[in-house]
Structure 1
């Protein structure tokens, strides 16, 4: 029974990595579609999101079954509870990638943002992709240094997010109402994607060390 239990725990962690890898593909394709007005990539992201949802639901079922049948304690319990919380955040990150892709599809063949903000969104997208890649490695290795790197990347996205709001509220903004709404939503999606990654990173850091990151760290 103990060997079966350990195999189930390994499966939980492997499934988290699998979902994270799919989220990385989703955000990579979504941000490319967004920045390049690539409707084919946008539709691919939208079509693939149910797979992420299904895998997250399946993982949750496995984790709940382990809790009910194996009654884990100590680190084993932390693994299962963390997996339940992380899968929810990963599923939400997949949804956010889908939202970014939907904006690209809705505005096709036009680009979503005005020329003056395209470099900003290109950088936000690049950082989100980097965060997703680091998150996958973190879930594989529990290398807590990656958690710090993810938080630093998130700080950069937060700064870019603020700069977008400064731009649309500034006197030189020439966009129509729909442009303002699209840009505001897009910036929020990019920022929230990173926030979820930070939340996961904190949980993995707790799993690895048994200590919750200090309150000065990003939520």
Structure 2
């Protein structure tokens, strides 16, 4: 009985890692679509989001079933509670990648990014992909040292978002209303995806150490826009 239970826990962990892989692909593709104005890639991101939703449902149903049938305690209970939170964070991160792709679709065939902002968004995309990739490794290996790298990348994403916002504030007259709207939303989308990666690794820290998460931290559980 316990062997079957722990096999189910491993299945949940494997599904969470698969969700990370799919989100990583979604962010990479959404960023490519944003930088290149690639409508076909944007449409692929939009279409793929349903698979993330399905994986979240599978994880949540299995976790709730195990909570009801097995009455887990200690580490096993923390694993299931964390899995429910992490599946939600990953689904939201996937939605944010989809939002990036939807902006590309809405503006096509016009480019979304002014030339002055391309480098910042290219770097935000790279950092977000790396943060989610590392978060998957943290889930797989419970490597809390690697978790610190995810937090560092998130801080860099925040700085880049502020760089974009600063440029909008100081040079607003050189942007159209549509560009200001798009850049404000895009900066927020990447910043939120970084926060979701941090939320994932902090949840792993919780299940490893049992230490209570800081409820005042915006990255403990973050809401989608």
The question of a shared fold, defined as TM-score above 0.5 by the shorter chain, is answered with yes
Rounded Cα–Cα distance in structure 1 between residues aligned with 2:182 and 2:172:
17
User: Structure 2 matches for 1:126-141, cutoff 5 A?
Assistant: 126-141=126-141
Shift in Å, 1:138? 1.1
1:58 paired to 2:58:
yes
Query: Unaligned stretches of 5+ in structure 2?
Result: 220-225
Question: More deviation in 108-117 or 166-175?
Answer: 166-175
RMSD of the TM alignment (CA)?
1.6
**2:76 corresponds to which residue?**
76
The runs of 4+ residues in structure 1 deviating greater than 3 Å are 212-218
**1:25 corresponds to which residue?**
25
The answer as to whether partners of 1:135 and 1:201 remain within 8 angstroms in 2 is yes
User: How big is each residue's C-alpha offset from its partner over 1:9-40, in whole Å with a ceiling of 9 and x where there is no partner?
Assistant: 11111111111111111111111111111111
1:177 paired to 2:180:
no
Rounded Cα–Cα distance in structure 1 between residues aligned with 2:7 and 2:127:
34
TM-score by length of 1: 0.95
Shift in Å, 1:172? 5.8
Shift in Å, 1:109? 2.1
User: Structure 2 matches for 1:92-103, cutoff 5 A?
Assistant: 92-103=92-103
Shift in Å, 1:215? 8.4
**1:166 corresponds to which residue?**
166
Rounded Cα–Cα distance in structure 1 between residues aligned with 2:218 and 2:138:
17
Question: More deviation in 108-117 or 96-105?
Answer: 108-117
Tell me the matched-pair count: 219
TM-score by length of 2: 0.93
User: How big is each residue's C-alpha offset from its partner over 1:161-183, in whole Å with a ceiling of 9 and x where there is no partner?
Assistant: 11111111114641111110001
The answer as to whether partners of 1:202 and 1:212 remain within 8 angstroms in 2 is no
Query: Unaligned stretches of 5+ in structure 1?
Result: none
**2:223 corresponds to which residue?**
none
Rounded Cα–Cα distance in structure 2 between residues aligned with 1:172 and 1:67:
53
**2:67 corresponds to which residue?**
67
The answer as to whether partners of 1:167 and 1:173 remain within 8 angstroms in 2 is no
